[in-house]
Structure 1
């Protein structure tokens, strides 16, 4: 997937640069807590083992570690310890989850600077979203999670229904082996109940019929054309639902 490729590029470029600079400046050695991971077990209850700066050994089930404790986990890299945490600040330190709100807020403001007039930007925040709806993209971390859920539901359904050309009996067998698209999306989101996925993560399109959401163009031979068909599904959903933004259409209208 393109998202995986972009994440790998981040690890090899911006993240590697931030880690290298932090190592040179000795930031990690000055941290009040640093757990150097020595082992991660597998199985139903993966466990992580570590040793701290004083040589004290510790261990805990991975699922029982909160996000703050996970930020203390470090791996031995080629040039010294580096955070096990994926997303880092420019200082090479783990980024707290709430910092993502600031990242998205800054991106939204950059979009508004380019796409809105000075008068539109001066509108009070409480009224700005309604005033400029459709003129500038507006995203949040939670909106990105909703977008992933909807995208994966449509994509997985398209794979099962169109690309694999499964019959009703085949689909039942496929669902028994791998789970149906709803179950797969629920698993990706980390929900314990698929009804939570259905009720909350498709809220922006709750007024649409499921058949309309999952309707994809007739199967075609070329993969590129299939990708265009999926894009068409989301373009249509954006037209039919106020809860979905078509960023390409917004940018095209601003040109």
Structure 2
């Protein structure tokens, strides 16, 4: 604020008379003016922008001052990410935000840290590995299945929160099952795509969906007894699902209609129900305790509650003044699990690529820079990014210098077994890596 007021004083402008043009000039001076010896980075100006917007937002209601900070004004409520929600549920970007200012820092979790956070925050355990006696865990199977799915699939929060039960494979067989992600649920639109879910994560989802022991069936029964589904307006009743064509048959006023999954967005998916002999039930996989489909932003609260439990368990009965204000070192956000998924697959692809280029000189590797970018094209496919540059810009820098041993610690034993088989197959093609040698026929040794 002091820098802003000094800037205005140069032009003899009072703070309550500042215009949008003044703020734009302030931005240019802070970022690009060659006569300014104290230029700052875009991320630092993003802090200036937020502070000015906060101050003038406060002054607008108390002093009747016009806010000169250029923002998206559409009369819609702000979403939880700080942008403004439009009809599609996606946030807008303030025009004053510098292009180089990222929304968040890239962070990831090693698998042991993720499992510790999950067990303490969502399963009622302590740092000593023992479950707390007062723990009830009414939604434990749902919450653990959800976070395991985020960590194992790399999907965005909105994407994983919008899946339907008809999209979940019925059998738990292969190491990694194939699922379809609807185009209408993907950030920014585009085409639907295949994604994979590891067997342990899919097993957890099936446990939650179990009609006898899963908590989902119980909340549906409670909602029926309370009459919540019978009183709903605007629901759509699904009578059939075709897995081959990925279409739903939905009841209409006069006749039924076929509806492709790729055109059904998150909001409409929460209105899909089926009629059973016991009554209506939602097709959405993830349900709130009241039996209604859980909205994506509600999972932010779940993560927040889990982080609070972890912090309480970490602090315990400590009253040490030195550690009172220390932040808890173990915490998680939904997008951190997506970053962790990308880091794990960067490990896998790097191991395979390392075998492919083993033996090349440094000069030859320079000539293969574009070919080395194949890792990022494959990562972009796994992450659902439109271009490899998006994956590289967001994920390359944090990965620089990481050791393979560090990357491998992200993987559990089941995943390490699969990677070992993959590396063996690649190694056999190169002829540069020794593997086990089978005994000769008839050799008794």
Report the TM-score when normalising by structure 1. 0.61
Counterparts in 2 of 1:20 and 1:137: CA distance versus 1, 3 Å:
same
**Structure 2 CA distance, aligned partners of 1:121 and 1:79?**
54
Root mean square deviation of aligned Cα: 3.7
* Equivalent position SS for 2:285: coil
5 Å-filtered alignment, 1:88-107, equals 88-107=287-306
Contact 2:274 2:282 in 1 (8 A): yes
Does residue 49 (structure 1) correspond to residue 240 (structure 2)? The answer is: no
> In the alignment, which of 383, 388, 402 is matched to residue 189 of structure 1?
383
1:206 corresponds in structure 2 to 397
1:152 corresponds in structure 2 to 345
Which segments of 5 or more consecutive residues in structure 1 lack a partner in the other structure?
124-130, 169-179, 231-255
1:6 corresponds in structure 2 to 204
Contact 1:154 1:214 in 2 (8 A): no
5 Å-filtered alignment, 1:131-170, equals 131-132=326-327, 135-155=328-348, 157-158=350-351, 160=352
Contact 1:74 1:82 in 2 (8 A): yes
1:62 corresponds in structure 2 to 261
Contact 1:154 1:213 in 2 (8 A): no
Contact 2:343 2:399 in 1 (8 A): no
Give the CA deviation at 1:28. Answer: 1.4
**Structure 1 CA distance, aligned partners of 2:204 and 2:215?**
11
Contact 2:269 2:284 in 1 (8 A): yes
Contact 1:112 1:121 in 2 (8 A): no
1:25 corresponds in structure 2 to 226
Measured against aligned partners, the alpha-carbon deviations of 1:35-60 in whole angstroms (never above 9, x if no partner) come to 122344567x84433115x5664444
Higher-helix-fraction structure: 1
Report the TM-score when normalising by structure 2. 0.37
* Equivalent position SS for 2:222: helix
Give the CA deviation at 1:18. Answer: 1.4
Worse-superposed segment, 55-64 or 12-21: 55-64
Which segments of 5 or more consecutive residues in structure 2 lack a partner in the other structure?
1-197, 358-373, 420-445
**Structure 1 CA distance, aligned partners of 2:376 and 2:242?**
30
**Structure 1 CA distance, aligned partners of 2:323 and 2:289?**
29
1:85 corresponds in structure 2 to 284
How many equivalent pairs are there? 195
Contact 1:48 1:62 in 2 (8 A): yes
Measured against aligned partners, the alpha-carbon deviations of 1:170-202 in whole angstroms (never above 9, x if no partner) come to xxxxxxxxxx664454334322222222222x2
Counterparts in 2 of 1:66 and 1:214: CA distance versus 1, 3 Å:
farther
Measured against aligned partners, the alpha-carbon deviations of 1:81-123 in whole angstroms (never above 9, x if no partner) come to 3211111111111000100110000000111111134668975
* Equivalent position SS for 1:23: helix
**Structure 2 CA distance, aligned partners of 1:181 and 1:79?**
50
**Structure 1 CA distance, aligned partners of 2:216 and 2:380?**
30
Name the structure, 1 or 2, with higher relative contact order (CA <8 Å, separation 6+): 2
Contact 1:19 1:82 in 2 (8 A): yes
Contact 2:286 2:293 in 1 (8 A): yes
Contact 2:273 2:282 in 1 (8 A): yes
1:215 corresponds in structure 2 to 404
> In the alignment, which of 299, 309, 313 is matched to residue 110 of structure 1?
309
